[in-house]
Amino acid sequence: MESSRKRQHYPYVLTSASEIPGGGDPKSWLEYYKLSPGAGETYVPHPHPGVRSASEGDILWFIFDEELLGYVPILHVKEDNINGRFEIWYAAEKFVRLEGPSRALSKDSITTPLPPEQGEWWIVDHAT
């Protein structure tokens, strides 16, 4: 029996002021270690317990300094009890970078999870 569950959309927000493993520039870390096709199957740490309900096929959105970069299908989520966070796993080669003018987002408009209609609209709006 097929489920009628709509896919959910989860934001991963990083800023220029974010602390990253090993220090350095957050944008370069994101691009090289998390979004490049060579990263393979990888994860991003997420502090919000709302991601616990994410499942395979849901969408992870990457937002840097309020700019919407793109999205990737989620493979699975692991709870990291030691560090008090969650790991959202995905295949980096499936990352879809949004084309066209970048969309600026207000921090106040970013919720976890995002409203499904908003995420689906972003996908359609940037389809080529």
**Is 54 inside a domain boundary?**
yes
Rounded Cα distance between 111 and 10, Å, is 8
Give residue 5's pLDDT.
78
pLDDT digits (tens, 9 = 90+) for 20-39: 888 889 999 999 999 999 99
pLDDT at 86 exceeding the cut of 50: yes
Q: What is the pTM of this model?
A: 0.87
CB 62 within 8 A of CB 70: yes
- What's the token pair of residue 125? 């709006």
**Tens-digit pLDDT profile for residues 44-68:** 999 888 898 999 999 999 999 888 8
Q: Is the pLDDT of residue 10 over 90?
A: yes
Q: Is residue 4 part of a domain?
A: no
Host domain of residue 46: 9-125
Helices (H), 11-126: 26-29, 116-125
> 87-104: per-residue pLDDT in tens?
999 999 999 998 766 666
Q: How many domains does the chain have?
A: 1
Scanning the chain, the segments in alpha helix (DSSP H) are 26-29, 116-125
